[in-house]
Structure 1
Amino acid sequence: MSLVKKLQQFKVIPVIQINNVDHAIPLAKALVDNGLPVAEVTFRTDAAAASIKAMREAYPELCIGAGTVLNAQQVDLAIEAGAEFIVAPGLNPNTVKYCQDKNIAIIPGVNNPSQVEQALELGLTLLKFFPAEASGGVNMIKSLLAPYGDVAFMPTGGISKANINNYLTLDRVLCCGGTWMVATSLIENEQWEQIGELVREAVAVTQ
């Protein structure tokens, strides 16, 4: 199954910040056991690469990407750890080309027409719309979808249980990135059961 089809199937992508690698496997278990075997682990902490590796080894069925990737060095770390795809907050042509050379999918962040056109020029059609709510949300995405018929979006930033379906009902919004079911405070306090409940709820809401 292609990455696009996988992400479209999941609809919601947990965007995760892991500060302690010991939390990686129980978190992966909470996702897999509750019907959402997908994760974007952000490179906002030094534990990111090791966490991806641990999650990948413990749960090979988990579709796992590396988020907040800013440069080639982080791309290498993500690939070595076993990430299936790369997500970036912005559109850096150097990082995009490096990922293409390494044959790993990248979903860069955009929020205006110029960035969409730059992404298309680089051969990309699946884009992260970020920060979604702060950049105009659903109305802005509608405006961007109209002139760019080949583009699909993964909105992230300000997405919640309350508003996710407003995005998912839009044509060519494949999935949304969200943090509410994997909040850092829940991970830090090892609230795996509560995370599991929130994951099940997120899956149910988006079906």
Structure 2
Amino acid sequence: MSEFDKKDVPEERIGLIDLMRTIKVVPLVTLHSPEEAVPLARALASGGVPIAEVTFRSAAALDGMRAIHDQVPEVTLVAGTVHTVDQARQAVEAGCKGVVSPAFSDAVVDWCMGSRIPVLPGTATPSDIEKAYDLGLRFTKFFPAEAYGGVKTLKALSGPFAEMSFLPTGGVGFGNAREYIDLPNVFAVGGSFPVPSKAQRQGDWKAVADACAQARQLVQG
């Protein structure tokens, strides 16, 4: 990250972005139960991907976040699919270091920025991105990536939004992650591909660790 990129960006945000830029892949995790949170997080760390975007797509989210924070501190927690300020607040209290939303929520972004919590709001169109830019944000989520043109769209956005950098998710997997990460305006990729659903359902944590290692190797090139 250049010094220009860091201008006026809180240190907390720089730290999380730098971590994502280093790992280059952010696993999207939807927990089926709180009990699977700790072994799953340990599998992520074992596979060289010590970060998890735990989504609010299940009732197990908050309990799982707390368990990971308490028992697997080497894994950095990020809250995903955040729609409300209450969810953002609860996630931070549970140990999350950042917030990711599927769309641009003014309330969530305002609360996060006011609380100095790193936030990656979902953007998909130039108007979304302009809104983020006007607030001083230079890093956002690009979602749903494939549905909104994927690599081709991100290339087109690099001209008018040269200062913006994106975390594409939605349709990103082993087959195209490398194409995304090679773009200069992509700082990391996100998705569920480092946590295969079958392996998660079966509690096959070695398979999850192996998939994480494969994903990390792929994006590192």
Contact 1:153–1:172 (CA under 8 A) maintained in structure 2: yes
- The reply on whether 1:176 has 2:189 as its aligned counterpart is yes
1:87 & 1:184 partners in 2: Cα distance? 21
Correspondence for 2:177: 164
- Residues 61-116 of structure 1: per-residue CA shift (max 9 Å, x gap): 21110000000110111011000000000001111001112221110111111110
Query: What's the CA shift for 1:186?
Result: 2.4
2:59 & 2:197 partners in 1: Cα distance? 15
User: Which portions of structure 1, spanning 4 or more consecutive aligned residues, are displaced by more than 6 angstroms?
Assistant: none
2:199 & 2:207 partners in 1: Cα distance? 8
Query: What's the CA shift for 1:194?
Result: 1.0
| One-letter identity of the residue aligned with 2:135 | L
- Residues 161-200 of structure 1: per-residue CA shift (max 9 Å, x gap): 1100100110120000021221344222211111111111
Aligned residues: percent identity? 36
- The reply on whether 1:46 has 2:59 as its aligned counterpart is yes
- Residues 9-44 of structure 1: per-residue CA shift (max 9 Å, x gap): 011110010020000000011011121101100011
| One-letter identity of the residue aligned with 2:158 | L
- Residues 35-61 of structure 1: per-residue CA shift (max 9 Å, x gap): 110110001111111111111111212
Correspondence for 2:165: 152
- The reply on whether 1:22 has 2:57 as its aligned counterpart is no
2:203 & 2:74 partners in 1: Cα distance? 23
Query: What's the CA shift for 1:119?
Result: 0.7
1:114 & 1:161 partners in 2: Cα distance? 30
Aligned residue for 2:103, secondary structure, equals coil
TM-score of the superposed pair, with normalisation by structure 2? 0.91
Alignment of 1:28-67 (within 5 A): 28-67=41-80
Aligned residue for 2:208, secondary structure, equals helix
Contact 1:70–1:88 (CA under 8 A) maintained in structure 2: yes
1:22 & 1:188 partners in 2: Cα distance? 12
RMSD of aligned alpha carbons: 1.1
2:95 & 2:37 partners in 1: Cα distance? 14
Alignment of 1:91-102 (within 5 A): 91-102=104-115
Contact 1:37–1:61 (CA under 8 A) maintained in structure 2: yes
